[in-house]
Each structure stands twice: as structure tokens, then as C-alpha cells.
């Protein structure tokens, strides 16, 4: 039987060049204070020996772990995965975060934490002790959980807060939820709609309120009423169904609805069909998230495209910059969202004139 080939380690490289393990680690991490000639010899040995640097080797040159930990909401993430309904928040977060980490020799790990748990601080400290991350990415609703924020501040670990405006600790990053909701509303106003309903997301997420603010702002700019046109959901299909039924049962129902998640938009589409309403002829519909399924509904849904990947990428950038002691932005970092127009919005003026 063939003998298994022994793996090449950092010790083999150091012995081949005749330098210390720390010197090889500094070359791997592209750190200063290594002579160009020596750096070239180490790199040549790494290539010739076929050495693949490990995280342990990277850490030899200092206290960094080259790990970034992303915390996601346990209950909602597991529910989405089990439902298999096409939500892709985690996918997009991994896309942006992992690619940016790879550019800088880092790895990203995702942990699921229950933000409502009495033991959230203990869970978090256990993860930090086990992984020793160089930084942490908080996603909503963790981003504004005072227990989590205080714990990380006390640990003096750089952390980015996606979906937070707070400047008390960490590095806040917004996807401009208020501006995105205003954009969606103005788009409908520009298409002649005057009664525009809004289905809000879960109240525990600050971004839900910001989206409502954006809708109200754009409606006020156009001189349009909002009374009775706001209904609360929790991002789920069932809550969207309830809200859509309530809106469409109004004596003067809306001619357009903005749903604060794709699941609630799908529910609204189905309720409209059950009520004998055609989208977009009788009801225009705009969604948030722009998950892949929005392209394949009938009709394809116009949606706000949340820049989740770009936001996760920026979070990684900020954490690495903080680790290096680089200058960090004083203002909240804003990653703008965009509207993807498809086939679910009609021109209300043409509908009326017809």
C-alpha cells in the first residue's frame, strides 16, 4: 500500500530557508520588517515545497486569529432554512463577507445566536473564547441589542453593526432602508398611484420602522394620505397574508402595496388573486429583499434590491482596518439600495383612463 505523503508544514519551510517560524509567518502575512531578499527566498520555498499556510501559522507573527465571526439571528435563520422558501440573506452575507476575507487572508465563520435568550452574553463569550476572532459582524436584530453591544465593547473586539445608526460603540453600517422605502414609494407615485399601502416588518428590527418612515416621507412629499394604509407584519408569509387582506378590504383599498419582505409580497400576490385582482392591472406591488424567486413569479415582482453582499464586504473592510489601526469613518457608513423594475407595477393613470 502506498505511503501517505506527509503534509508540508511551516516548520519545513523555516528549516529549508534557515529562518525562524515567526519570519515565515511574517512573510505569509505580508508584514513589514522582512528584507526583500529574505522574503523572496521564503516565498520560493513555499511554492517549491507546496506549503499551504494555515491559520495557526498566520497567528505566529502576532495575536491575530485571521477569523471574522458573523452573528445571525438563530430563530429566524433556522426557520428560513427549514421552510426552504428561497430567502438568501445568509447566502448574500457569505458571498460578500467571504470574498472580502479571502482578499486579506482571513476566514469568516457564522454563528447563530438567539437575541432574546437570557444566556446571550454567555453564548457570545463562549464563541469568542473558542474562536478568538479578530472582529465580529452583527446583523439585525443583534446590531442594536444592548447586551451584545456592551459585551463586545467590554471585550474590546472590533465589531461592525449592520442595520444600526448608533454611534456609541462599534462601526454602524446601513443599507439605507428609509431611503429605499422612499424610492419605492416615489416610483409608485410617479406611476400615478395615490393610495399606496405599506406592510411593515417585525417591530424588533429597527429597520422596519425606518422603512415606514421612508414611506411616510415620500407620501408627505406628494401630499398623499397614509391613514389606514399601514399594517404591521413580521416578514413572514402568514403576516403578509393578514395585512394584505386588511388593506384590500378597506372601503377605498390601495391601488399599490409595498411589502417589507419578499415573503409578504408573495402573500399579497396570492391574496390579490383570491380577491379576483390582477397584478399589475388592478393592484401594483413592490417588494423588499429581491431574493431570486422575485424573477420567477407571475408577474415578476418589482423589488428593492438590498445590498447585503456589499454591506457584509464593507463590514469586513472596516474590521480589518480597525485591526490595523487605520482611520475609520466618523459617520455611519451607508450602502445604497436600488430598485429593480419588473412587471408588477402599472401606470395608474392609464388604468383610470382606460
DSSP-based three-state secondary structure for 305? strand
The more confident residue out of 26 and 214 is 214
Q: Please tell me the predicted confidence (pLDDT) of residue 251.
A: 95
For the chain, the 3-state helix, strand and coil shares in percent, each to the nearest 5, are 45, 15, 40
Q: Please tell me the predicted confidence (pLDDT) of residue 126.
A: 85
Q: Please tell me the predicted confidence (pLDDT) of residue 113.
A: 86
- Bridge partners for 256 per DSSP: 196, 284
| Of 315, 319, 325, 328, the residue nearest 134 (C-alpha) | 319
Q: Please tell me the predicted confidence (pLDDT) of residue 330.
A: 86
Structural domains for the chain: 10-61 (1.10.260.40), 67-175+308-337 (3.40.50.2300), 177-305 (3.40.50.2300)
Q: Is it the case that residue 284 has pLDDT exceeding 50?
A: yes
Tell me the average pLDDT across 178-196. 97
Q: Please tell me the predicted confidence (pLDDT) of residue 354.
A: 43
Q: Is it the case that residue 281 has pLDDT exceeding 80?
A: yes
- Bridge partners for 287 per DSSP: 259, 303
Cβ neighbours around 231 below 10 Å, total: 19
- 60 pLDDT band (50/70/90 cuts)? low
The more confident residue out of 325 and 248 is 248
For the chain, give the mean pLDDT.
89
Q: Which three cell numbers stand for residue 304?
A: 428593492
Among 16-25, 81-90, 155-164, 172-181, the minimum mean pLDDT is found in 81-90
pLDDT digits (tens, 9 = 90+) for 100-109: 999 988 999 9
| Of 170, 113, 165, the residue nearest 142 (C-alpha) | 113
Amino acid at each position: 500500500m502506498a505511503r501517505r505523503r506527509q503534509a508540508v508544514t511551516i516548520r519545513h519551510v523555516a528549516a529549508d530557508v534557515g529562518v525562524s517560524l515567526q519570519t515565515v509567518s511574517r512573510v505569509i502575512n505580508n508584514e513589514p520588517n522582512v528584507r526583500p531578499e529574505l522574503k523572496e527566498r521564503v516565498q520560493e520555498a513555499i511554492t517549491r515545497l507546496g506549503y499551504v499556510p494555515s491559520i495557526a501559522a498566520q497567528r505566529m507573527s502576532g495575536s491575530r486569529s485571521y477569523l471574522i465571526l458573523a452573528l445571525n439571528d438563530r430563530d429566524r435563520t433556522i426557520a428560513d432554512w427549514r421552510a426552504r422558501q428561497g430567502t438568501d440573506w445568509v447566502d448574500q452575507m457569505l458571498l460578500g463577507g467571504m470574498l472580502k476575507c479571502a482578499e486579506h487572508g482571513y476566514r469568516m465563520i457564522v454563528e447563530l445566536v438567539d437575541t432574546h435568550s437570557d444566556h446571550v452574553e454567555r453564548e457570545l463569550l463562549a464563541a469568542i473564547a473558542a474562536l478568538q476572532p479578530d472582529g465580529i459582524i452583527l446583523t439585525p436584530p443583534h446590531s442594536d441589542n444592548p447586551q451584545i453591544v456592551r459585551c463586545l465593547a467590554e471585550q474590546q473586539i472590533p465589531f461592525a453593526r449592520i442595520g444600526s445608526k448608533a454611534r456609541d460603540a462599534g462601526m454602524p453600517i446601513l443599507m439605507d432602508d428609509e431611503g429605499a422605502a422612499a424610492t419605492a414609494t416615489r416610483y409608485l407615485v410617479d406611476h400615478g398611484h395615490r393610495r399606496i399601502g405599506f406592510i411593515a416588518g417585525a417591530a424588533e428590527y429597527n429597520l422596519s420602522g425606518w422603512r415606514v418612515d421612508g414611506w411616510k416621507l415620500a407620501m408627505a412629499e406628494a401630499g398623499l394620505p397614509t391613514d389606514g394604509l399601514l399594517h404591521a407584519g413580521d416578514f413572514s408569509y402568514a403576516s403578509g397574508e393578514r395585512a394584505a387582506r386588511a388593506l384590500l378590504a378597506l372601503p377605498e383599498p390601495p391601488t399599490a402595496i409595498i411589502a417589507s419582505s419578499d415573503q409578504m409580497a408573495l402573500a399579497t400576490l396570492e391574496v390579490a388573486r383570491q380577491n379576483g385582482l390582477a397584478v399589475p392591472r388592478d393592484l401594483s406591488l413592490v417588494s423588499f429583499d429581491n431574493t431570486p424567486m422575485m424573477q420567477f413569479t407571475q408577474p415578476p415582482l418589482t423589488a428593492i434590491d438590498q445590498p447585503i453582499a456589499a454591506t457584509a464586504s464593507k463590514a469586513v473592510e472596516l474590521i480589518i482596518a480597525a485591526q490595523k489601526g487605520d482611520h475609520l469613518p466618523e459617520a455611519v457608513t451607508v450602502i445604497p439600495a436600488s430598485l429593480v423594475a419588473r412587471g408588477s407595477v402599472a401606470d395608474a393613470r392609464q388604468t383610470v383612463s382606460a
